[in-house]
């Protein structure tokens, strides 16, 4: 058989997922040359980076040299709602010359992944919201199963971007959040601009606090440090690559509260990886986002400041949890020791010897025994 290539791609709709953090994914039906059909899910941010790389690979066809020569379609983005445009873009991509439509960049991007077969969800947080596109392209976009409404946030200060994939902000800008990465970098759009923005520079419109912020988990989740980091602020921790720690509070700004032995402090979430996992973050090569406490000239629309737990509170509650767990372990161990001691006592007790029956009398033998036995006593 020859090399695999894609015959057809159809955009079925979108999913809004909440695990491990809020993001949108496209649902594509991909038809291959071997007549197989596969359902694949791709984040909007993945498609954004895929499309950008495709244009860099084919600068002439993307119109970078001469716009009249452009044949690569525009990013298949919802406007957020231009589902018809998105579907047409999928068709156009496959109908491009084979050097583009059948290149490894395209083929590998749409290959089935493990997560396509077993989508990662967590019903304890919130089930995904599904938005299906109408099969008839002539139908109105209102026929989509429910409206896709992006969350709007406001920039609290000016932000100068430091890479092409980021987006600059001015204080007061209203942005729509497409994806909230656990790293603390959020993918946003502002009119016709898109890019990554530090979550610390954004505030919700309805109040200073994040409704999606999780509560501390003093039991902790085990993570492994992937990138060393030297503390800059007093409430941060310095760790080396390979260190094992416990995450006790996952904060949306990408600075998680962690515990190393009995010490707690902030550490960049993007430098951590859950123990036992091998999947690397798509933003692993990016630097840690700034913390809100380091932002100057903050201009918030909320009179109240954001609620924040002090490191002293984290340490105190963490210490209480550790002490409580130790007591539970000690009690269990003590109970086990008591059981073992009782078993040993029972085992060491002298075992009772069987009683020796009394010798039968002569009369009893003559009365009940056989003839040969009776002769022995006569």
Q: What is the pLDDT of residues 98-157, one digit of tens each?
A: 999 999 999 999 999 988 988 765 555 578 888 887 766 555 444 445 556 788 999 999
78/174: higher pLDDT? 174
pLDDT of the residue at 141 = 44
What pLDDT, on the 0 to 100 scale, is given for residue 145?
52
- For 41-54, how does the pLDDT look when each residue is reduced to its tens digit (9 = 90+)? 999 889 888 988 99
* Interatomic CA distance for residues 311 and 44, integer angstroms: 36
Query: What percentage of the chain reaches a pLDDT higher than 70?
Result: 88
**Better-predicted residue by pLDDT, 361 or 26:** 26
CB within 8 Å of 33: residues ≥ 6 apart: 2, 4, 5, 6, 7
CA atoms within 13 A on the CB side of 298: 16
Q: Which CATH superfamily is domain 151-204 in?
A: SH3 Domains (2.30.30.40)
CATH class entry, domain 6-132: alpha beta
Nearest to 8 by CA among 103, 100, 94, 112: 94
What is the rounded average pLDDT of the residues 236-256?
A: 95
Residue of 58, 160, 70, 37 lying closest to 102 (CA atoms): 58
3-state secondary structure of 224: strand
Beta-sheet strands, E only, within 151-289: 151-155, 174-180, 185-190, 193-198, 202-204, 221-225, 244-249, 255-260, 263-268, 272-274
Return d(Cα 172, Cα 365) in angstroms, integer.
Answer: 117
Tell me the pLDDT of the chain averaged across its residues. 84
Q: Calculate mean pLDDT across residues 80-103.
A: 69
Q: Provide the H-helix boundaries in 95-170.
A: 98-101, 104-110, 114-117
Coil, strand, or helix at residue 74?
coil
Give the pLDDT confidence score for residue 102 in this predicted structure. 94
Instruction: Decide if pLDDT at 186 tops 50.
Output: yes
What pLDDT was estimated at residue 136? 61
The verdict on whether omega for the bond into residue 331 sits within 30 degrees of 0, i.e. cis, is no
Query: Looking at residue 147, what is its pLDDT?
Result: 58
85, pLDDT greater than 60? no
Model confidence at 65: pLDDT above 80: yes
**Please, which residues bridge with residue 196 across strands?**
166, 187
Q: Per-residue pLDDT for 69 more than 80?
A: yes
| Nearest residue to 210 via CA among 301, 313, 306, 124 | 306
> What is the average pLDDT across 333-348?
81
Q: What is the pTM of this model?
A: 0.76
Peptide linkage before 20 cis (omega within 30 of 0): yes
DSSP 67: G
In this predicted structure, the answer to whether residue 255 has a pLDDT above a threshold of 70 is yes
What are the residue boundaries of the structural domains of the chain, listed by start? Answer: 6-132, 151-204
């Amino acid at each position: 058989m020859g090399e695999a290539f894609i015959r057809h791609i159809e955009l079925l709709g979108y999913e809004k997922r909440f695990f491990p953090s809020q993001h949108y994914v496209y649902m594509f039906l991909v038809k291959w040359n071997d007549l197989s059909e596969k359902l694949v899910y791709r984040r909007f941010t993945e498609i954004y980076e895929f499309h950008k790389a495709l244009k860099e690979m084919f600068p002439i066809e993307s119109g970078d040299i001469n716009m009249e020569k452009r044949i690569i379609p525009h990013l298949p983005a919802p406007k957020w709602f231009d589902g018809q445009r998105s579907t047409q873009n999928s068709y156009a991509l496959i109908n491009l010359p084979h050097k583009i439509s059948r290149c490894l960049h395209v083929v590998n991007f749409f290959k089935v992944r493990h997560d396509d077969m077993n989508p990662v969800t967590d019903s304890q947080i919130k089930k995904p919201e599904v938005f299906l596109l109408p099969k008839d392209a002539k139908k109105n976009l209102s026929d989509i199963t429910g409206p896709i409404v992006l969350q709007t946030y406001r920039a609290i200060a000016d932000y100068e971007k430091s890479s092409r994939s980021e987006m600059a902000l001015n204080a007061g800008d209203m942005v729509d959040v497409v994806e909230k990465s656990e790293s603390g970098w959020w993918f946003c759009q502002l009119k016709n601009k898109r890019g990554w923005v530090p979550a610390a520079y954004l505030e919700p419109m309805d109040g200073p606090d994040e409704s999606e912020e999780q509560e501390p988990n003093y039991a902790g989740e085990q993570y492994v440090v992937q990138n060393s980091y030297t503390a800059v602020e007093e409430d941060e921790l310095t760790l080396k690559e390979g260190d094992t720690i416990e995450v006790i509070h996952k904060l949306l700004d990408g600075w998680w509260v962690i515990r190393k032995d009995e010490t707690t402090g902030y550490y960049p979430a993007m430098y951590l990886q859950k123990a036992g996992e091998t999947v690397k973050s798509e933003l692993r090569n990016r630097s840690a986002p700034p913390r809100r406490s380091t932002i100057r000239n903050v201009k918030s629309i909320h009179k109240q400041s954001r609620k924040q737990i002090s490191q002293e509170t984290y340490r105190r509650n963490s210490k209480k949890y550790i002490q409580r767990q130790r007591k539970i372990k000690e009690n269990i161990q003590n109970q086990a020791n008591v059981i073992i001691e009782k078993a040993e006592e029972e085992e060491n007790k002298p075992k009772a010897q069987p009683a020796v029956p009394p010798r039968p009398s002569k009369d009893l033998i003559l009365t009940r025994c056989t003839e040969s036995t009776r002769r022995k006593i006569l």
